[in-house]
Every structure is written in C-alpha cells, then in structure tokens.
Amino acid sequence: MLDVERQLRDYFEEVVERVTAEDVRVRVSTERGVRLPERRLRLRPLAAGAIGFGLAMTLLGIVVVTDRLFGAEAGDATSGPGSLMSPEGGATPWIVIPVAVGLVLLIFGTIFVRRTRNASQQGGTDMQTMERDPLAAPIDNETGVLQRRNRVLGWLTVFLAVAVVGLGLWLAAEVTSSSTELAPTAEVEQLLTDYQEAWANADSNAYLALLTDNFVLETSRFGRFTGPEQVAAWVPARQGLEQLGGYSMIGTGPWYVTVASHHDSVPFPGFSEGVDSVSVFKIVDQGGTLKVAYHKSFGPAFG
Amino acid sequence: MSPISLLSMVLQGESVAEETVGHGSDDQEFTRFVKEVEPRLSHALAASYGPEVGAEATADALAWAWEHWDRLVGMKHPLGYLYRVGQSNARRYFRPTKLFPAVSPESVDPTLPVLLEGLSRNQRVATVLIHALDYSEREVAELVGISRWSVRTHAERGLARLRKALEVTADA
C-alpha cells in the first residue's frame, strides 16, 4: 500500500469536485435569474402552530389592553388586586407581553412560510457533478442540488425557550415580591403620617381631606362610623400620639397597612396615663390621589 | 461595469459589444482568480465538510466573489475570506451521514474515508493541504486563519494518526 500522503492525494483527486469560473457564472445566473415554476404553498405544522398561537396571543393581548385602557371608568375603584379587569393603575407594562409574544410568533411563522415557499422556487441547473454513490444527504429532486438546512425552526425554538424561561422568572419574581413586600412606599407612609398628625391635632378639615367618600372608621368599643359626616362628629380632642415601630404593608393597590401607636391621654375612665393601640388601614388610589378608605383600631381602650 | 451588470445584460439578450469594449478585464481577472484560488478552496472545504457539501460551499463562495468582486480585490487575504464565506454556506446544507464516500481506486485504503472523519476539521484541512497537496504552512495558515505553529501541529498530529491507523511507517 502507498504512503499516507499519496493515498490522501489520490483520494481527494478522486472525490473533490472542481469548480470553474463558468460553473460560478451559471450558478449565479440560475440561482438569481431563473426561477422554477411556483409550487403550491405548503404550510408546515410548526409554522401553522406558530401563526395560530401568535394570532391567539395577539388577539388576547389586544382585548386585555383595550379593556385596561378604555374599560377603566366602568370599574369599581376599590376592587381587589390581581383582576385583569381592574382599572386601577391603568394599563400596566406587563400586559404588553402577550401582544409582543404574539406578534413575534406571528412574524416568525410568516417568515418561515415565506422561506419555505421561496426555497421551493429557487434552484435550476447547477454545475456538472461527478457520478458517485448516493449519500444520505437529502437532495432536491427538481434541482439536483443538496437541500439547504432551514435554521428558522432552531432559532424559533431558542427564542421560545428564552421567552418561556423569561416569563417564568418574571412571574416568580412578581409573586415573591408581592408576597414579601412589607415596607410601605413613601407615598403611603406620608399619607398615614398626615392622617395620624391630623388625628392627634384634632384637625377635622385636614383629617377629612385624607378620607374617601365612603370611609369607614371602626372600633369594637365605639362602633362603626361611615362617611365623612359621621366621622367628623367623632374626631376626638387633641391628644399626644406616638408611633411605635414602623409600618407593615401588603398589597399593590389597595394597600393594607398596620401600625402600633401610643396615645398619651384618652378621655376614657381608667386610661388617664395613656394607652397603646394597633390600627389597620386600607389605602386606595382615588383619581390618582391616595386616600384612607378604612381604619380600625384595636387595643385595651378600643376593644 | 461590474460583472453583475454585465451578466444581467447578457441574460437579457442585450447587445453589449459596445459596452464591453475595454471593460472585459474584470471577467478575465475573475477567471484567472478562480483558476488560482479554486484548488486550495475546494480541497480545504472538501476536507472540512466532505466533498459533497464542500463542492457546494466552494461554488457558493466563488459566486459570492463574483457578486462582490469590487470588494474582494481590495482584500489582503481574499482566499481566507472566501474560506469563511464557504464555511458559512456549508453550515446551511444538510450534511451526509458519511462525510467522505468510499472510492474505487486500489491505491487508497478502504478505511481512509472513515479515518478522515475521525480527525478534527483543522487536522483534516492541514493534513490534506500540506501533506497531500504540498501547500506551505503559511498558505494554510492564511486560509484557515490560525497560526503557522498551530497548522504544523494539526498537520503532524493528523498525519501521525492516519499513519498509525493504517499501519504505514514514515519510511514506507
């Protein structure tokens, strides 16, 4: 047997197809200039799925966004969090995600179908090839050339995987942050500070300005007061009020806040030296301004 | 006049006799260029991706050269660039399950195609171009885009593996 170098030379001289300048010109002209008769458009299952899913997501996103943008006035201003139909806060950015995902899938599906159709149109006479045993690579019967690998599916899979992982991470972060958020925002904290100051100073006007129209003040000992008129009549006399510790808050609107306070003096028998209490507040966004919708006090003096 | 515009006129059946007077140099230059670079390019791409895909990739790369002739003539290493173009195009083709087909010449060991697939791509290119086709290490380094030292290492290791597998000594 010959040496390896000679064997390699003989082998590659045997199998390598040579390309001439004329081959190149023919290739350019056939691929760019001459098109085969158009085949009937075939919709691949994955492309059909992508288009269908994209359309569904787009329509769903449009419906949700439309409802958010134009259905706000018909809703209840104090409805709970988490409802897609809730008008509070208007259209939040994450709502755009279904629309974006749908549109991207739609575009990918459309491109894939176009590429499939274009690929079926291209081809023509290729350079002369040598006779040889058929290999296992797919060959286009009409053009006689190797079929090109379509990478759109691969990229689409990567994109979908990234999108799914991203959405999962976002959802996880959303759930985690909403369940562990205990510190009040600066705006809510300022509202409650103003509220307690007005209460301590017995400043009825300032106090009532912080309340919603259907505000409820409730204690077990003195009962339930609804609306500004009832509450205004009950605002107590001036008293020293000291906050004990910080605020604790849950929710993303409405916000539910608890705080402990010490009252220097209360006009109740047996509590002349002061008393501690715990208050629960419900804060809502009313027309862009935070207001106190509910206040309930617990403690030895309030029941 | 660029080769493309010339070609389009020819394809459209227009008379270009007057237009081409004094402008046929691009066409001739391209023909000379193909004759010069095609052997290295086709052998390198055939060694990389097998003769089937390598031939298509070579034709694609040279077609790119034809379409971007003005850009190519200003390059320092046009062959290396075309090799990259060929690599990019080769990835778009389905590859045969066997990169290297069996051949009939009795001078070639039947196991050689299988052994070639066992080498890395750079080993195949370096070994074939240097030891089988007598190209210099510098030419292969410029083509593949790696250092001459790496080319030498790839070529030596590739050849040693083939020799060991074929049980051919260096003196044979």
> What is the rounded CA–CA span in Å between residue A86 and residue A75?
7
Residue B79 near residue B40 (C-beta atoms within 8 A): yes
For B161, counting Cβ atoms within 10 Å of its Cβ (0-12 exposed, 13-18 middle, 19+ buried), the class is middle
User: Is A186 part of the contact surface with chain B (CB cutoff 8 Å)?
Assistant: no
| Contact criterion met (CB < 8 Å) for B172 and A3 | yes
Instruction: Kindly state whether A25 is in contact with chain B, defined as any CB-CB distance less than 8 angstroms.
Output: yes
Burial of A153 (0-12, 13-18, 19+ CB in 10 A): middle
Say whether residue B34 is in contact with chain A using an 8 A CB cutoff: yes
User: Residue B62 — pLDDT band, cuts 50, 70, 90?
Assistant: very high
pLDDT band at A117 (very low <50, low <70, confident <90, very high): low
Could you tell me which of A189, A222, A186 has the C-alpha nearest to residue A298?
A: A222
Residues of A in contact with B38 (CB under 8 A): 18-20
Position A130 scores a pLDDT of 41
One-letter amino acid for residue A291 of the chain: K
Neighbours of A66 (CB within 10 A): 11
Min distance A36 CA to chain B CA atoms (Å): 16
Phi then psi dihedrals of residue A15, to 5 deg: -100, -25
Taking a C-beta distance cutoff of 8 angstroms, is the pair A264, A242 a contact? yes
Which range among A51-55, A213-217, B27-31 shows the weakest confidence by mean pLDDT? A51-55
Does any CB of chain A come closer than 8 Å to the CB of residue B97?
yes
**Interface touch B166/A1, C-beta < 8 Å:** yes
Q: pLDDT, tens digit, for every residue of A22-35? A: 888 888 777 544 44
Judged by CB atoms closer than 8 Å, whether chains meet at B63 and A31 is answered as: yes
Length of chain B: 172
Say whether pLDDT at A233 is over 90. no
Cis bond leading into A254, ω under 30°? yes
Return the closest-CA partner of residue A192 out of A139, A259, A138, A133: A259
- Residue (of A246, A248, A257, A252) closest to A281 by Cα position: A257
Q: Is A60:A98 a contact under the CB 8 Å cutoff?
A: yes
Q: What pLDDT does B128 receive?
A: 92
Q: What angle do CA A146, A151, A157 make, to 5 degrees?
A: 150
Buried b / exposed e over A68-92, threshold 16 CB at 10 Å, is beeebeeeebbeeeeeeebbbeebe
pLDDT above 70 coverage of chain A, percent = 63
Fold topology of A186-298: Nuclear Transport Factor 2; Chain: A, (3.10.450)
Residue ranges covered by each domain of chain A: 4-179, 186-298
Question: B56 and A147 in contact by Cβ < 8 A?
Answer: no
- Burial class of residue A296 (count of CB atoms within 10 Å of its CB; 0-12, 13-18, 19+): middle
Q: Is B6 on the interface with A (CB under 8 A)?
A: no
Closest Cα in chain A, distance from residue B140 (Å): 16
CA distance B80 to chain A (A): 17
Checking if the pLDDT of B10 tops 80, the result is no
Query: For residues B102 and A133, is the Cβ–Cβ distance under 8 A?
Result: yes
User: Which position has the token pair 């040496």?
Assistant: A3
Instruction: Convert the pLDDT of each residue in A173-219 to its tens digit.
Output: 766 665 544 445 778 888 888 888 887 787 878 888 888 888 888 87
Contacting B residues, span 139-158, partner chain A, CB-CB under 8 Å: none
Tell me how far apart the alpha carbons of residues A198 and A192 are, in angstroms, rounded to a whole number.
10
Interface test mutation site (partner A, options B27, B168, B169, B171, max chain A beta carbons within 10 A): B168
Rounded to an integer, what distance in angstroms lies between the CA atom of residue A172 and that of residue B59? 51
Complete domains list, chain B, with CATH: 19-99 (no CATH), 102-172 (1.10.10.10)
